[in-house]
Amino acid sequence: MTQASEVLVNTISIDELQQLLKRKSPIHFWNVLTDEWFHGDMIPQSRRVPLDKVGNEVRSTNLPKDAEIVVYCGGPKCPQSRMAAEKLGKLGYENVRAFEGGLEEWKNAGLSIEKIQ
């Protein structure tokens, strides 16, 4: 039996993500890898909001509950994007999707990565 507090996590495919990034409307696209797992790789147009800072980020920026948010982490075996999406859902955000393929799928598709310090 599942608990009522569980949040359904919607996912986004690499193709859907690429289409979304080509649109002009703003989305919040976050690399949610924690410091322990982050090695400087970022998908272009994303910014870093580590999993353990997600709650602080939405509170400090007063992000609207209907904001479009896409989160990603290292790849299919990394649970952090799903955990971030669940956390956002519990905070009342309804338009959240996890790109579970993450950096691994992005790189394997031959797409560019940005390196940050």
| CATH architecture classification, 10-115 | 3-Layer(aba) Sandwich (3.40)
The string of pLDDT tens digits covering residues 51-60 is: 999 999 999 9
Task: Judge if pTM exceeds 0.85.
Answer: yes
- Name residues whose C-beta falls within 8 Å of residue 43's C-beta, 6 or more positions apart in sequence: 29, 31, 72, 103, 106, 111, 113, 114
Domain boundaries, the chain: 10-115
Predicted confidence (pLDDT) per residue in 1-54, tens digit: 444 456 789 999 999 999 999 987 789 999 999 999 999 999 999 999 999 999
Q: How far apart are CA 78 and CA 94, in angstroms?
A: 22
